[in-house]
Amino acid sequence: MTTRLTVLGNPGHRRVTLFAAAARAAGLPEPSVLPWLDLLRGEYRLPDGALLRIESPGEEPAVDELLRGPALGPGYAPTRVEGGAAWYAGVMTALRGLARVPGVRLLGDPEEIAVMFDKRRAHTVLAAAGVPVPRALDTLGADVTGWEELRERLRAAGLRRVFVKPAHGSSASGVVALEFGPRGQVLATTSVELAGGQLHNSLRVRRYRDERQVAGLVDRLAPDRLHVEQWIPKASQSGRSADLRVVVVAGRATHAVVRTSSQPMTNLHLGGARGNLDLAREAAGAAWPALLETAERAAACFPDSPMVGVDVLPASGWRRALVCEVNAFGDLLPNLTGLPGGPAEGLDTYGAQLAALLARPDARTGPPGLRPDTRPAPTNHQIMEPTR
């Protein structure tokens, strides 16, 4: 029986449809889809020898509620910030169980995903490998329990400008850019809205100057565990702060996008915008290859992950780079083609991953489903049939 690629994802979502389109463009059979919801409920079966791509469980309210809802109680809402630790535990339990299914081969290592989705552990791994990272509070040995402890530890460390991040968060959920003035004044910049004793994500970045509000924010974030790192002044482009998302496929930097913002967070949904990559390369000059190499060094810490998205902080006028995060699912960059002259020129991020997969020695002699198929592709996704 021909083995085909299967995607663990949310049916109909962009990540799944874009990967399927790349597979069709490569002449491969239409990937089957294993819904995250079925995996979490234990209502699935996979054919022997399935080659399974792991996609993000995000952006699906039913999946999110199943993972975080019990931790939030009756106040669950998709916009809620809390519950990250429960989300993380549920995702990792599911992936580790999937890895034990006989005959299933995963494109990606659950244990490496576990590290990437724990910002504290990822920071430690990167630093140990000599990858330049911002200075951070050591929160592996002793979690920050709340505002008073955080303030005291920052004072002892001599840090007055930091990013406070939920250890298992993504898309800037719960991230707080925290500053202390010369007389102890505090300013917190975040997209989190405090409402009725709960934390909710908002599309509007707001500033809190009342220490009681900031304390309440940190106290509610702390149970999900925090990663606290120094706020590094970024390079700029057109008067806006700028950073880079670099996609690394099979060890090579294949795609890069500049993200700019007038806010500390550059996420597009918070008012960020794509910058000009040509201007960034020009500004970096001879340092540009080193910026990409920094991303590749970070990716090398996760050798069993075929793709990672690396968030690079350019500093000192684009002449220096630090890594702030490594993302297991950092390839959702629609309409972005590979770096000129690079191994993925002309390909999107998904096409680059398929090209790297087909180039592997085992793709030539291994599963027939990895070989280009000249038959017409099905028009609809083949959804894995749940067991009853």
Q: pLDDT tens for residues 329-362?
A: 999 999 999 999 999 999 999 999 999 999 987 6
At residue 367, the pLDDT reads: 45
Residue 30 near residue 24, CB atoms below 8 Å:
yes
**Which is higher by pLDDT, 247 or 198?**
247
CATH 3.30.470.20 residue ranges in the chain?
118-134+234-327
Residues in Cβ contact with 252 at an 8 Å cutoff, skipping those fewer than 6 apart: 296, 342, 343, 344
3-class secondary-structure state, position 265: coil
At residue 268, the pLDDT reads: 87
* Spatial distance between the Cα atoms of 112 and 384, rounded to a whole number of angstroms: 26
Residue 247 near residue 349, CB atoms below 8 Å:
yes
pLDDT in tens, 45-89: 998 889 999 999 999 999 999 999 999 988 799 999 999 999 999
Of 11-20, 193-202, 214-223, the range with the lowest mean pLDDT is 193-202
Segment of 71-85, 293-307, 368-382 carrying the highest mean pLDDT: 293-307
Residue 376 pLDDT > 70? no
Mean pLDDT in the chain? 91
Residue 260 near residue 266, CB atoms below 8 Å:
yes
CA-angle at 177, arms to 176 and 180, nearest 5°? 120
pTM for this prediction: 0.92
User: For residue 29, what is the DSSP state?
Assistant: P
3-class secondary-structure state, position 377: coil
User: For residue 107, what is the DSSP state?
Assistant: E
Strand 273-274 vs strand 307-315: parallel, antiparallel, or unpaired? Answer: unpaired
pLDDT in tens, 89-126: 999 999 999 999 999 999 999 999 999 999 999 999 99
pLDDT in tens, 242-289: 999 999 999 999 999 999 999 999 998 999 999 999 999 999 999 999
Query: CATH fold of 118-134+234-327, please?
Result: D-amino Acid Aminotransferase; Chain A, domain 1 (3.30.470)
